[in-house]
Amino acid sequence: MVVSLGEAGPESIVRVEKAYLNWDDFRIPDNAGNTPRDQAIASDGPAAYFATVPVADVVNTVNAAQAENGLDDITAMPACVSLSAGSFVCNHTAYAVSHQLATLRAATNVPPFVFVHVPSWRPDDGFPALQAITQTLHRLLDALTNAPALPKDSFFNHQ
């Protein structure tokens, strides 16, 4: 299993991304100063790739565990399905990983892949906020570990 994480900004929800678009449109420079605008990530790639885990089922499992264990601001935060990782570095990373995995499709064991946006955290936010993020990620990883992988062909036919 390959799980990539990205920072989503000051939110109070963990977003499990379903689609990764073959499109860069950086509104601000990335850390290296790059600002690609309205261009493909991979000229030889499909328009989009999709997560190769059952995203909605995983999110439902996480939220059910949160409810069962008492969802509050200290112990955890909700998760949701997000339909796009955006058009900045997170989407670029998710698409590039998916494209690389697609080149391995002849292999017998292409690992499942999903990208997850987590809320930003700064020391001023305090320990409870960090604890909520990490608790939710623990539950998410548990749900991902127990989720069946989607059929191999489903990943490559979503074009």
pLDDT digits (tens, 9 = 90+) for 92-120: 999 999 999 988 876 667 888 999 999 99
Domain coordinates of the chain in residue numbers? 2-157
Catalytic residue check, 92: no
Which candidate in 17, 80, 99, 158 is catalytic?
Answer: 17
Catalytic residue check, 99: no
Which candidate in 90, 92, 99, 138 is catalytic?
Answer: 90
Concatenated DSSP letters of 47-63: SEEE-SS-HHHHHHHHH
> Which of helix, strand or coil describes residue 30?
coil
Residues constituting the chain: 159
- The third-level CATH classification (topology) of the domain covering 2-157 is Aminopeptidase (3.40.630)
Distance, in Å, from the CA atom of 107 to the CA atom of 8, rounded to the nearest integer, reads: 33
The residues, ordered by sequence, that sit 6+ positions from 66 with a Cβ below 8 Å of its Cβ are: 75, 76, 77, 78, 79, 136, 139
CB 59 within 8 A of CB 10: no
The residues, ordered by sequence, that sit 6+ positions from 141 with a Cβ below 8 Å of its Cβ are: 3
pLDDT given at position 107: 66
pLDDT given at position 30: 75
Task: Answer whether 0.75 is exceeded by the pTM.
Answer: yes
Name residues of the chain where pLDDT drops below 70: 69-75, 106-108, 149, 151-159
Which candidate in 11, 80, 92, 117 is catalytic?
Answer: 117
